[in-house]
Structure 1
Amino acid sequence: MSEEFTICVETERGAALVAELLSLWENSVRASHDFLADGGVEFYRPYVEEALRSLPLLVTARRAGRAAGFMGVTSSHLDALFAAPEYFGGGAGAMLMREALARGVRSVDVNEQNARARRFYEKHGFRAVSRRETDDCGKPYPILRMELAEDD
């Protein structure tokens, strides 16, 4: 089922927006990252909160004024893309991805264990080009670097 969403570039990073997106992130991760060890969400929360405040580009997909998903971009790299669980498969992520591609995104890192996310990025033209054994925090969650496949 496709929903109507509005894309919003978030220039003001006030406490209410950060809290809204942090809650969305937590709900999304709890629904999609079953590979995280106990306490994983709590461990990563401060890093995500800081990222929400400092990402060069923060974009939300909104429906009826509420965030259905968000993405963060640095240059041509997609730093984050999360949808609220109730919108999984509902078009919010795809709309954000189209926005990311239009803004020149060409790479993304994804947890290897998150098969749904890998398939999502593959559907949008990304292919794994490298693998790291640990995430940016040194945790044992392998990360795949995916890059947009260029048409020949």
Structure 2
Amino acid sequence: MIVVSYREHDHDKLVEIWESAVRATHTFLEEHHIQFYKKVVSDVLKQRQVEVWEVLNTEQQPAGFIGLHDDFIEMLFIDPSQHGQGLGKLLIKHTFRIKGRHLKVDVNEQNPGAAQFYQKMGFVQIGRSALDGSGNPFPLLHLEIR
């Protein structure tokens, strides 16, 4: 597995990974929420509003990705068939190398697997919001590592 900078020709595959990961882990979302956020993620990736790094499998195909804005992890999604195989950890370690060890991330409170993953990586909760960034009633945990 290797980490490479965003490859435009992988755009549709990254959106597909996002959707399959969200359907596997964000069971609190209704279909209209998924479609709304899918468009947001697609636009963010296409317009390069975040710095994106892909993890590639042995066939050089994307298996996951991370989106960064300065020291903030905006998104981290792994193909559900690859969960638990160290790809998220690989992307976090890559982020440490390029951004340093002071990172922040927001995690949906209703996605305990993600919160547990970040805690294993050394993140601690520093706050909580009742609404997500779009004003929806999906509480966010604010995490940070120093």
TM-score (norm 1): 0.88
The reply on whether 1:95 has 2:103 as its aligned counterpart is: no
Say how many residue pairs are matched: 142
Gap regions ≥5 residues in structure 1 = none
Q: Which structure 2 segments of 5+ residues have no match? A: none
1:131 aligns with 2:124: no
Query: TM-score by structure 2 length?
Result: 0.92
Secondary structure at 1:39 match in 2: helix
**2, 13, 17: which one aligns with 2:10:** 17
* Residue of structure 2 aligned with 1:80, choices 69, 75, 79: 75
CA contact (8 A) 1:55 1:73 kept: no
Describe how 1:26-45 pairs up with structure 2 within 5 A.
26-45=19-38
Structure 2: distance between partners of 1:65 and 1:55: 24
- Residue identity matched to 2:105: V
Q: What's the % identity of the aligned pairs?
A: 31
2:55 corresponds to which residue? 61
Give the distance between the partners of 1:36 and 1:128, measured in 2 at CA.
Answer: 23
The alignment's C-alpha RMSD in Å is 1.2
State the distance in 2 between where 1:7 and 1:112 align.
28
Could you give the per-residue CA deviations for residues 67-116 of structure 1, whole angstroms, max 9, x where no partner exists? Answer: 11100001111111000000100111110111112222510011011100
What is the match of residue 39 of structure 2? 46
d(CA) in 1 for partners of 2:141, 2:44: 20
Which aligned runs of 4 or more in structure 1 are off by greater than 6 angstroms?
A: none
